Amino acid sequence: MTMDQKWTKRYEAFAEHQAARGIDLQSVKKSILAHHIETPSWGYADSGTRFGTFSQAGAARTAQQKLADAAMVHRLTGVCPSVALHIPWDKVDDYAALSQYAASLGVTLGAINPNLFQETEYKMGSLCNPSEKVRAKALEHCYECVEIMQKTHSKNLSLWLADGTDYPGQDNIRERKHRLEECLGAIYDRIPNGSRMLVEYKMFEPSFYTTDIPDWGVSYSLCKKLGEKAEVLIDLGHHAQGTNIEFIVAYLLDEGKLGGFHFNNRKYADDDLTVGCINPYEVFLIYRELVDGWTDPRLNPDVAFMLDQSHIMKPKIEAMLQSVIFLQETYAKALLVHAGRLKEAQLAGDTIAAEEELKAGYDADVKPLLAMIRIENGIDPEPIAAFRKSGYMEKIIKERSK
């Protein structure tokens, strides 16, 4: 029996069961194929912890190599057409040429991420720094990134500030808020129509006493004041232990301020592990809120689904494939929850039936569904095995060791 025959057989049993549950698998397949996940250029390069960087043979070093690896992930999954850039890590002289190179590989350039955390001047902050000169430097960098957005036809400026303080009394909390609002307003005024500024929050790190954008409430308040081109970016690793992230997702989606996600997973802090490796059910519940929210035509479906991970202990491209496959499978599970039955149970206050309906989706083995979608779209049903057979890793190790 060939691999395709194996998966087709398993899919037939899956489809029969889901049809009996009243699930429209054609619409599920359409949603899965339309669900694009942006991969981060920095996820293909060497990275590390604050205690050291660990290199891997074949790791991408140039923007072009990162795009080549990202294009391989897109070829093997069919749902990763764009690649987020980090400036200056991915700075080039000619962004039009980089866009053309990306297009030649079958991908496009995605969100532009300014770097406001590595220059020595940013020690006391960037946009919140007490020194007007440092704030001006940070603003200039953000303006440069907005210009790059226009050359790469990127729709999202993905803004994360490391700004904060380490000691009580180090700076005035409200004055930092005022500096931040003024600077974000200046950047916002340059965001082209049809593009967005995604304001990412993070509870702590690298600052340990205060962080100037520490939680979703601050990001939401800033975005509300800035205007409709500013939306909140949720990074899963940026919350206190036990935070109910799916609640935040539902609230921001309903408020029209959910801009996007940086997917990863963590055990304790912002560990940037591969999404779903620690808490897969949380990601399922996040997707459930999205699926439910998108049944409301008032709500904006344009959410940026991005990975933000650091692959130290895993080979980078395989870790990226694992993450994309996990998100596809989790979205499929969320789509297998029967909305009508769930609603009925909720209105009847039948907690058991409501939870059982959620679990009917979560517990479904969706691998045959994903495999069939890939087979029907000319993609190998097993992307990681296909990558291992492709010889791509051996090729780039040889090419990049020169």
Binding site for Mn ion (CB under 5 A): 235, 262, 270, 308
**CB closer to ligand AFD out of 310 and 328:** 310
What string marks each residue from 142 to 181 as x (binds ligand AFD by CB under 6 A) or -? ------------------x---------------------
Mention every residue, 6+ apart, whose C-beta is less than 8 A from residue 176.
Answer: 125, 128, 163, 165, 210, 212
Which residues, 98 to 117, sit near ligand AFD by CB under 6 A?
113
Q: Smallest distance from the beta carbon of 147 to ligand AFD, in angstroms?
A: 19
Least CB distance to ligand AFD at residue 186 (A): 21
User: By C-beta, is 90 or 380 nearer to ligand AFD?
Assistant: 90
Q: Indicate which single residue of 270, 329, 357, 382 sits in contact with ligand AFD (rule: CB under 6 A).
A: 270
Count of CB atoms within 10 A of residue 167's CB?
10
Selection from 296, 301, 309 nearest residue 39 by Cα: 309
CA 82 to the chain's CA centroid: 11
Minimum Å gap between C-beta 366 and ligand AFD is: 28
Q: How far is the CB of 282 from Mn ion (least distance, A)?
A: 16
What is the full DSSP assignment across 320-337? HHHHHHHHHHHHHHHHTS
| Of positions 90, 308, 357, 380, contacts ligand AFD by CB under 6 A | 308
The distance of closest approach from Cβ of residue 48 to Mn ion in the complex, given in angstroms and rounded to an integer, is 14
Question: Which of 66, 176, 202, 288 is the binder for ligand AFD (CB under 6 A)?
Answer: 202
Residue 161 CB, shortest distance to ligand AFD, in Å, is 9
Cβ proximity of 253 and 220 under 8 Å: no
Query: Computed over its alpha carbons, how large is the radius of gyration of the chain?
Result: 22
Contacts of 276 (CB under 8 A, 6+ apart): 265, 283, 323, 326, 327, 330
Whichever of 81 and 260 has its CB closer to ligand AFD, that residue is 260
Helix (H, G, I), strand (E, B) or coil at 260: strand
What gap in Å lies between CA 127 and CA 136, rounded to an integer? 8
Q: Where on the chain is the footprint of ligand AFD (CB under 6 A)?
A: 86, 113, 160, 200, 202, 235, 262, 270, 272, 308
